[in-house]
Structure 1
């Protein structure tokens, strides 16, 4: 099992918990659902009204839902109708409750998608980028409205986050099919144009395929995504065709109308805007975040150009791919004459990501402490304060505007409340809308049996009609397929959509200081002889308010200049012709509504305690279900969806059972530890290794080898030192293979090659003795059942050996004495006056692929270059030299690597040539190609590095773990991850590891075993719960 002990010293900063992020996202969306005004009449008439029709058998119908045009999706509306129906189960539920419940459900789903993307960004890019992304999303007015808007563009925004997360998260292999699928879901069920955002990621996949030669695998992933998308299209259009009673393809109809319609048709007839509309709108909705988002690509390129160690081409391409969707979308829609704020919703997450990346790059630059740079001379506290004020200012401005919008324009959500009071209205009443038709919040705000009608105003376009309510002989939802009269796609007025004012029971109207009555729009509120004002709410008069007052919330306080105040510049009234209520102004609506609901719940609870009431209620419920089966189906679908989403969230964000990887030292980062000594001179340190704790329940018979599997998913192979902080308790690892290793070592030391397997140079002798002393101190502490400390050294209680380390001369070379007692090979490197570290002492008995005689006396760089270590000069040499120079006795580290071997010999892989072969005759070119899988072995090494405090030598311990491939492939997830890792090797790594000699047989076997595991129910989403590098 992975180690449980925590590394000593300074702990790395913890990552931001995705669960906390979910709470923040969800909390913001709850506020939005309850208080955000409806910004777009399309949301009401094209989505809330059809949903109301599905739930309550009547509603207003736009021309888009006429079967003649069929450019709106009943599948999309049906999903939301099912969710809204769940609200009927709530005590005291009304149609208004359904409205807010649906908004809350949208906010919940949005929070799930945001949290998924947040977690992926933190894991894939950087936790700091994820936190900036969270701040931009939570505190921007744009997301405040978009998150709970019932619009296809908002739905596309949700699925775009899931798609981006899939394309970004390469852990477990490429998720191309999932990314394509989610983009398709947003395009098919939501808004077809949003699917264009998949193009940069498709381009990345093609670039990767050309670079790696994996054209076939890429094509398979594309086909998988296409098949999934086609399935969604078939289901969606089957539902739409059922409602329209003819075959339709709604996404195609939307594209044809908006892109290929002729003169006098298309989106431009509803108004056009200048090219800079979106720039102004996004600055309002995202303030500084939009500016940062626009700067993301230039900053990416500049950081690459001026970076001391440029990243690889694939990393640069991937960085550009992540920021490009925002530019692509903004360019496309800036070029369109017809512009709407909601058209930007699908790209809001990309905007937030771009801004987070930009801020991360800027902070990395301005955080530099290099005195040679101008920014390095600025005090750190001053730079921190400036960054803090920038982010805090963006948060404050965002909250200020969101509050301003909610307080200025929420009147339409409040003025209908008197209709729901006892005696406030009755079935058959009519609520009329004149010039305020476009602010109608939907029929969900009208009591049962009350309908909305339109009276003539100055508006000359096409208003919605009503869905047919035919009941007999027309089947289910006849309003969806019966062709309504007076509909057209040219926005031409239809007089049949108006009702006579004499038929109005109630009238909803506004009276603003800047407004002037006319013949078509008379002052209904001022006509007190015909109308009585029952409820009035404040509404901002934008024409009479200053820019600051329109942008955000401004309190009506004495010290605020008059031109900026909102008082007396906002007013909306609901006059009613039914004179049952005195005129009144109510500003605190939500608290009153909640108190009324609580009283209703208490009353229902008391009634439920009466058995007769319970029996009557049960009978009434059964009769209702028999007469109205559709709501029950909707409720069941809604509950199932909620349970599925909840389980998905809990599964994804529950804490991992496997400890996270320990902090890794950065060899390139400047260290606080200064080397105040000349090269080749070591000043002895007084550091004493902490006493090791006994290994719990360790036994030489039963303690199994630790399951190191140090390979990562592709497609990219990262060449790094891979250092991790090491716990002192875990310096030496022993297991129940000990006696086998001990026997192999003894046989090697008794062979004719023994003299070539170990050596200690005179200048390294003290260091070798120091290592022997360290082991004689550590092993009895860590493994007391096997080793016993003695006055002269140590006894091995299993093999019967006794070590006397005080006698002189020692009976054996000190490196041999050390190597006999443990399963590791050992090497010590010492610094010489030229500043280079040289291999001067070692006992290498089980190396497999290299010989001590070839490396002895070599400098560190020569050891690696002579062995053709991949990318050593370009990526490893500088960091390795820095590390060796700076490593302190108190800071041990550990690393892992792995190889594939095609023979069973642990000590020397004879498949690459004889161990005594001449230089140039040994190599993978000697290995037999495509041997049977039974000859393939997994060779894993665990290497610890520490500096000896007295001599200053740097000790390597090299512990080899050796298993048949067929054995480790019985473990869950291993075949798929190993196959992905092998495929990720570039040409240099492949040559070094001999891939060409075994890849065909190995990969075929690994793929087969992976498919078997998937067929047996392996859940790839759970891998993080059971495995983390290097396990």
Structure 2
């Protein structure tokens, strides 16, 4: 007899506990109900709720029964084999789970749109659990063990859930039924791979098994709360749809309570409340995890349901990723469970026949319980068969239910085969023949499962193996890229790559949305900023984002496949056979499904010669390739040293005067020439002033080099500088090579503050540039260039980030008139600081007061397209660079500070619902003024679009429609005709979308108005000029006005875009900075008459210079070391 329930709990109805038949009859008599007489075993009457009750199987003595602990060990061993050898089948498993986990554990990884905070349909709580497991790798310090460790752990957890359900089936229902369940789960190919899959559907499979075990075992009372927490809590943390599987069990318990007394119904409600509280706790914990990572309110289970159900009705949802016919799951489950799936489908009819027709009990529980146990499989299969979008992993949660159904159906069939009833036709068949038939069917099912499993492992295991050579020493280095084209969906995760080596995608025939990269923003962004920073280019419509691709030239390694039956295409070339470029590092056979027959695709067929070729499996190659001339230290790091006698040496030492690394695929001869010329150039720069200058050098093919220069400083050996230069012409001449004999001595200046510079000296010529592309005047061929994704601005704050201290003036006595261009890093395109609120308010006021006088877009379609392109660029860049202030939306962007929502669709173009000019909208977004010039048929660039709201000294209405020459001539720009015109026109024509530049200039102003310097006259005067300004105003009225301009070509429209960021400070403020008064005074005195007139020096020169001289003298008197100025104030700061 079972243990009695606690005194505080009422005694359950007969069918809720396992009781003897005598006690059941006694309770029925006490209630004055008619008692059904006990019938023979073959013909007992069936009642709806009274059970066929017997002694509980607490200590099972049946010889068929296997100890649950032993069952666990066997299952865990089988799953461990799967962890080692079974391929990762689903790219969702890699990109949606392994890669985010890699981000948590290693700081970088691929990011899908589902992890964009804008959508948030994947839970960081679920991923964090697995990241904790992988964190245990520190105990096993072996590279590449992470995936194996996690998969083994998942297999053990799965084995535990299976063993528990097996135990409950055996103890509660029937030992033979439990053993059948155990064997089905052990030998089925479906369980072999689902058990170790890092997927929410697998997690739900574990919790479904645990929940079924809880609902199945009523000994000692119902475990409703435990079952609910397992199944609903598992669904919340894993896959929300799996919560549907709890429905049949809840219906059973409701009916139990409904047909019992009032107290039982109260207990039922209590158990429901208990289970709901437990499940809610799981939801709250998950919510806290996701709120921490996403930095916003995100109820991920609801987001998943919304996307898959509601969004699906709006033309989005999962159906855009493909649909399958209704019989997809039937075919799939037949492969993964073979005959067991057929028996599982037949389980309910067999159960009804056995119970109602043959009137025989199946197990020691009421028949109605059997109905509820069998229902989840049919319910789930029906729900998902009706969905157009189908995937194999969607069936994982019902694998335990399928196993139970198959075990119950098999149990019934075996009962029929083993019958001794003389009235049965089956009994007429000899017992040995029946046993033989049953054994053959069982062995065939097991063999088919093993056959298919072996076939999957041998056919598709290559992606887990080919990356092994990357573990070898000196094969990779930090920053290398392993590229994938058509094989992107078989990438087994970044855990198969060495630390610092990244996976990248090159364009293939696939035209959907590929994963991007989690932001690697560092200091100032807290923990895991990549989880909450909104990535660019993400969408929930599977629309391709070209920025997800990388250039083939940046690939150090390539993973590709080659199949004899597949023809290469321009987008999917056969990299394996491009032996001039790529070298095989590792190759594994991979099944060529297009040339292999059905049997060969389903399972394992040996490659024996006597098997006809049409039945044998056909193979291709799956390879890891390395770029030639980019493998091994001997080619990756050509180390060149020069001694003082000028004798040239080539060695493999780790230290030398100069290291040159090339990343481009040139011939060996050209490669050596690059090294020699680069070395000569670097030595020429270093030898004169004994310091390294950031001067670019370029090659004829306009490729990028990374070079390291180190010299032996006479005082300290640690001065090593790494700089990056962009190629532009190297003259392959003997005169350049002859400078190799120069003595190289480079040093790093000791500075208190050194601001980064990636560009050459702006006041000195940098040599000739590449020739302009051949195209007709006024014609632009759209470029497919995409701006690189911007890294978030470190520690940026709207309240605390101060304007950069640009001080772009030099000591006299000579004032050089040049364009002053510097190469611009893409991250630094738009600069925002804590003056943004004032700039934004001034711009808003100017728009309201002056309207279209300050902004204009020419109606020419090319110009309009360029203005819209500018909006697209800003809406892509600003949320990346300043994620705390801008948030990207489906149709534009939101300015969180100003509460402005921009819709930049060209047929909409609204700000907060109000239609605006595209240049007006762009001006609201940034502190900069904006101008776009376009080339016309005469080859001249013309200002045709602009938003000039804070110009200071000029008006957009005066300049619109002017050519580049007219703009400068009308403003009397000094030296334009003689020194600037030709070079500037050539530069504008040849400017490429991938080569942005910037420059700085400065002016002096004798009033405090940022938008318009009223000292030169009213803004609406016919011809405002310095002539109207008051002379020698007090120094408090003097302001330093500096402009930081960027120039870039818009790739689609071909417009040349100017951004003009003004920095405006009182002279009395900047004069407090070390060295500034003396240098600014010297620069002003170096101006020629033309520059002095252009800058209005006559109106402020006397007062300003007198003030600056006094401040300079004060600084010198207080101990300012003038000899260290170059160390502290590098141009343009």
State the TM-score, normalized to the length of structure 1.
0.55
Give the secondary structure class of the aligned counterpart of 1:304.
helix
- The alpha carbon displacement at 1:62 in A equals 0.2
- The alpha carbon displacement at 1:304 in A equals 1.1
Supply the distance in 2 between the matched residues of 1:255 and 1:222 (Cα, whole angstroms).
Answer: 23
1:64 pairs with 2:110: no
Q: Which of residues 219, 224, 229 in structure 2 aligns to 1:171?
A: 219
Query: Match of 1:119?
Result: 167
* Structure 2 counterparts to residues 900-939 of structure 1, below 5 A: none
Give the secondary structure class of the aligned counterpart of 2:145.
helix
Change (3 A) 1:330 1:418: same
Supply the distance in 1 between the matched residues of 2:146 and 2:258 (Cα, whole angstroms).
Answer: 52
* Structure 2 counterparts to residues 782-821 of structure 1, below 5 A: none
Query: Match of 1:942?
Result: none
- The alpha carbon displacement at 1:580 in A equals 7.7
Query: Is residue 116–residue 165 contact of structure 1 (8 Å, CA) maintained in 2?
Result: yes
Instruction: State the aligned residue count.
Output: 572
Give the secondary structure class of the aligned counterpart of 1:134.
helix
Supply the distance in 2 between the matched residues of 1:312 and 1:403 (Cα, whole angstroms).
Answer: 36
Supply the distance in 2 between the matched residues of 1:114 and 1:13 (Cα, whole angstroms).
Answer: 20
Query: Match of 1:141?
Result: 189
Query: Match of 1:150?
Result: 198
Query: Match of 2:454?
Result: 403
Supply the distance in 1 between the matched residues of 2:137 and 2:499 (Cα, whole angstroms).
Answer: 15
Query: Match of 2:564?
Result: 513
- Structure 2 portions without partners, runs of 5+: 3-59, 633-1133
Supply the distance in 1 between the matched residues of 2:502 and 2:258 (Cα, whole angstroms).
Answer: 61
Change (3 A) 1:47 1:312: closer
Supply the distance in 2 between the matched residues of 1:329 and 1:131 (Cα, whole angstroms).
Answer: 24
1:342 pairs with 2:393: yes
1:23 pairs with 2:73: yes
* Structure 2 counterparts to residues 799-948 of structure 1, below 5 A: none
Give the secondary structure class of the aligned counterpart of 1:535.
strand
1:196 pairs with 2:244: yes
- The alpha carbon displacement at 1:547 in A equals 0.5
Query: Is residue 161–residue 209 contact of structure 2 (8 Å, CA) maintained in 1?
Result: yes
Supply the distance in 1 between the matched residues of 2:72 and 2:362 (Cα, whole angstroms).
Answer: 33
- The alpha carbon displacement at 1:264 in A equals 3.0
Q: Deviation per CA, 1:205-257, whole angstroms, max 9, x where unpaired?
A: 01101121221111010000001101111111111011000111000000000
* Rg larger for: 2
| Range with bigger deviation, 141-150 or 571-580 | 571-580
Query: Match of 1:277?
Result: 328
* Structure 2 counterparts to residues 574-973 of structure 1, below 5 A: 574-578=624-628
Give the secondary structure class of the aligned counterpart of 2:333.
helix
| Range with bigger deviation, 373-382 or 267-276 | 373-382
Q: Deviation per CA, 1:124-150, whole angstroms, max 9, x where unpaired?
A: 111111111111111111001100000
| Range with bigger deviation, 307-316 or 377-386 | 307-316
State the TM-score, normalized to the length of structure 2.
0.50
Q: Which of residues 433, 440, 455 in structure 2 aligns to 1:382?
A: 433
Query: Is residue 88–residue 98 contact of structure 1 (8 Å, CA) maintained in 2?
Result: no
Change (3 A) 1:166 1:312: closer
Query: Match of 2:443?
Result: 392
Query: Is residue 174–residue 363 contact of structure 2 (8 Å, CA) maintained in 1?
Result: no
Change (3 A) 1:46 1:404: same
- The alpha carbon displacement at 1:400 in A equals 0.3
- The alpha carbon displacement at 1:311 in A equals 8.7
Query: Match of 2:95?
Result: 45
- The alpha carbon displacement at 1:534 in A equals 1.3
Query: Match of 1:299?
Result: 350
Supply the distance in 2 between the matched residues of 1:239 and 1:149 (Cα, whole angstroms).
Answer: 22
1:159 pairs with 2:159: no
Change (3 A) 1:397 1:496: same
Change (3 A) 1:455 1:311: closer
Supply the distance in 1 between the matched residues of 2:153 and 2:589 (Cα, whole angstroms).
Answer: 28
Change (3 A) 1:12 1:342: closer
Give the secondary structure class of the aligned counterpart of 2:376.
helix
Query: Match of 1:81?
Result: 131
- Structure 1 portions without partners, runs of 5+: 3-9, 583-1031
Query: Is residue 369–residue 377 contact of structure 1 (8 Å, CA) maintained in 2?
Result: no
- The alpha carbon displacement at 1:574 in A equals 1.8
Supply the distance in 1 between the matched residues of 2:563 and 2:360 (Cα, whole angstroms).
Answer: 63
1:243 pairs with 2:293: yes
Supply the distance in 2 between the matched residues of 1:231 and 1:443 (Cα, whole angstroms).
Answer: 33
Query: Is residue 41–residue 440 contact of structure 1 (8 Å, CA) maintained in 2?
Result: yes
Query: Match of 2:487?
Result: 436
Q: Which of residues 305, 319, 338 in structure 2 aligns to 1:255?
A: 305
Query: Is residue 534–residue 575 contact of structure 1 (8 Å, CA) maintained in 2?
Result: yes
1:101 pairs with 2:149: yes
Change (3 A) 1:580 1:495: closer
Query: Match of 1:417?
Result: 468
- The alpha carbon displacement at 1:570 in A equals 2.9
Supply the distance in 2 between the matched residues of 1:72 and 1:110 (Cα, whole angstroms).
Answer: 22
Supply the distance in 1 between the matched residues of 2:185 and 2:552 (Cα, whole angstroms).
Answer: 46
Query: Match of 1:772?
Result: none
- The alpha carbon displacement at 1:396 in A equals 0.2
Query: Is residue 534–residue 581 contact of structure 1 (8 Å, CA) maintained in 2?
Result: no
Supply the distance in 1 between the matched residues of 2:131 and 2:309 (Cα, whole angstroms).
Answer: 30
Query: Is residue 506–residue 578 contact of structure 1 (8 Å, CA) maintained in 2?
Result: no
Query: Match of 1:1027?
Result: none
Supply the distance in 2 between the matched residues of 1:141 and 1:311 (Cα, whole angstroms).
Answer: 28
- The alpha carbon displacement at 1:14 in A equals 5.3
Query: Match of 1:914?
Result: none
Supply the distance in 2 between the matched residues of 1:527 and 1:308 (Cα, whole angstroms).
Answer: 72
Give the secondary structure class of the aligned counterpart of 2:558.
strand
Query: Match of 1:110?
Result: 158
Query: Match of 2:587?
Result: 536
Query: Is residue 236–residue 282 contact of structure 2 (8 Å, CA) maintained in 1?
Result: yes
What's the Cα RMSD here? Answer: 1.9
Supply the distance in 2 between the matched residues of 1:121 and 1:513 (Cα, whole angstroms).
Answer: 51
Query: Match of 1:475?
Result: 526
Query: Is residue 433–residue 453 contact of structure 1 (8 Å, CA) maintained in 2?
Result: yes
Give the secondary structure class of the aligned counterpart of 1:79.
helix
Q: Whose helix fraction is larger, Structure 1's or Structure 2's?
A: 1
Query: Is residue 94–residue 491 contact of structure 2 (8 Å, CA) maintained in 1?
Result: yes
Larger RCO, structures 1/2 (Cα 8 Å, 6+ apart): 1
Give the secondary structure class of the aligned counterpart of 2:314.
coil
- The alpha carbon displacement at 1:314 in A equals 7.9
- The alpha carbon displacement at 1:99 in A equals 1.0
Supply the distance in 2 between the matched residues of 1:142 and 1:283 (Cα, whole angstroms).
Answer: 10
Q: Deviation per CA, 1:290-316, whole angstroms, max 9, x where unpaired?
A: 000000110111111123466999812
Change (3 A) 1:575 1:408: same
Query: Is residue 64–residue 176 contact of structure 2 (8 Å, CA) maintained in 1?
Result: no
Give the secondary structure class of the aligned counterpart of 1:427.
coil
Give the secondary structure class of the aligned counterpart of 1:275.
coil
Give the secondary structure class of the aligned counterpart of 1:476.
coil
Moved over 6 A (4+): 310-314
Query: Match of 2:83?
Result: 33
- The alpha carbon displacement at 1:87 in A equals 1.6
Give the secondary structure class of the aligned counterpart of 1:517.
coil
- The alpha carbon displacement at 1:88 in A equals 2.1
Change (3 A) 1:314 1:533: closer
Query: Match of 1:369?
Result: 420
Give the secondary structure class of the aligned counterpart of 1:519.
coil
Query: Is residue 180–residue 225 contact of structure 1 (8 Å, CA) maintained in 2?
Result: yes
